[in-house]
Amino acid sequence: MNNNPLLANWDTPYGVPPMADIEAAHFLPAVREALDEAHANVEAIAACDDEPTFANTVEALEDADRLLDRVTAVMFNLNECHTNEELQQAVEAASPEITRFSNDIAADGRLFAKVKKLHDSFRNGTLDLNEEQGVLLCERYKFFVRNGALLQGADRERYKACSEELAELTVRFGRNALADNNAFTLNITDPAQLEGLPETAVAEAAAEARSRHLEGWVFTLAASSYRPFMAYAANRDLRERMWRAYMTIGNRGNENDNNAVIERIVNLRREIAQLLGFQSWCDYVLENRMVKSLAALQGFMQGLHDAAIPAAWADVEELQSFAADVAPDTELERWDVAYYSEWMARELYDFDAELLRPYFELERVKQGIFTLYGKLYGLKFTEAPEVPVYHPDVKVYRVDDDTRMMGLLYLDMHPRQSKRSGAWMTEFRDQRNFGGIEERPLIQVVCNFTKPAADRPSLLRFDEVETFMHEMGHAIHGLLSDIHYPSLSGTSVKRDFVEMPSQLMENWCYEPEFLSLFAYHYQTGKPLPTEWVDRIRDHKNFQSGYLCLRQLNLGMTDIAFHSMTEPFSGTAEEVERGAMDELLPTVDGAITATNFSHIFSGGYASGYYSYKWAEVLDADIFSRFKEEGIFNRDTAAKFRRTILSRGGSRHPADLFRDFMGRDPDQEAFLRRSNLI
Q: Read off φ and ψ for residue 275, nearest 5 degrees.
A: -60, -35
What CA–CA distance (Å, rounded) separates 171 from 91?
A: 7
> Cα 530 to the chain's mean position, in Å?
33
**How far is the C-alpha of 289 from the C-alpha of 652, rounded, in Å?**
9
Query: Backbone phi, then psi, for 473, in 5-degree steps?
Result: -65, -40
Number of H helices, E strands in the chain: 28, 9
Alpha-carbon distance 422 to 448, whole Å? 6
Give CA angle at 438 (432, 444), nearest 5°: 55
Query: What's the burial of 421, exposed, middle or buried (CB within 10 Å: 0-12/13-18/19+)?
Result: buried
Tell me 522's DSSP state: T
d(CA 652, CA 659): 11
471 in catalytic set = yes
Amino acid identity at 355:
L
Which residue is catalytic, options 471, 499, 506, 573?
A: 471
What region does 574 belong to: left with phi over 0, alpha with psi -120 to 50, or beta? alpha
Backbone phi, then psi, for 416, in 5-degree steps? -160, 165
d(CA 102, CA 41): 13
405 forms beta bridges with 400
Are 591 and 251 in contact by the 8 Å Cβ rule? The answer is yes
- Three-class DSSP labels, 557-580: HHHHHHCCCCCCCCCHHHHHHHHC
Distance CA 269, CA 470 (A): 30
CB 184 within 8 A of CB 245: yes
Give, in degrees to the nearest 5, the angle at Cα 330 between 328 and 334: 135
Helix (H) or strand (E) holding 186: strand 186-188
Distance CA(294)–CA(559), nearest Å, equals 9
Query: Which residues, listed in sequence order, are joined to residue 459 by a DSSP beta bridge?
Result: 361
Smallest CA-to-CA distance from 430 within 28, 41, 66 is with: 66
Residue 260 has what DSSP assignment?
H
Burial class of residue 602, CB neighbours in 10 A (0-12, 13-18, 19+):
middle
The angle subtended at Cα 25 by Cα 19 and Cα 27, nearest 5°, is 65
Among 475, 483, 484, CA closest to 426? 475
Distance CA 531, CA 77 (A): 42
Rounded CA separation 602/604 (Å):
6
Given a contact cutoff of 8 angstroms between Cβ atoms, the answer to whether 259 and 571 are in contact is yes
Residues marked as catalytic: 471
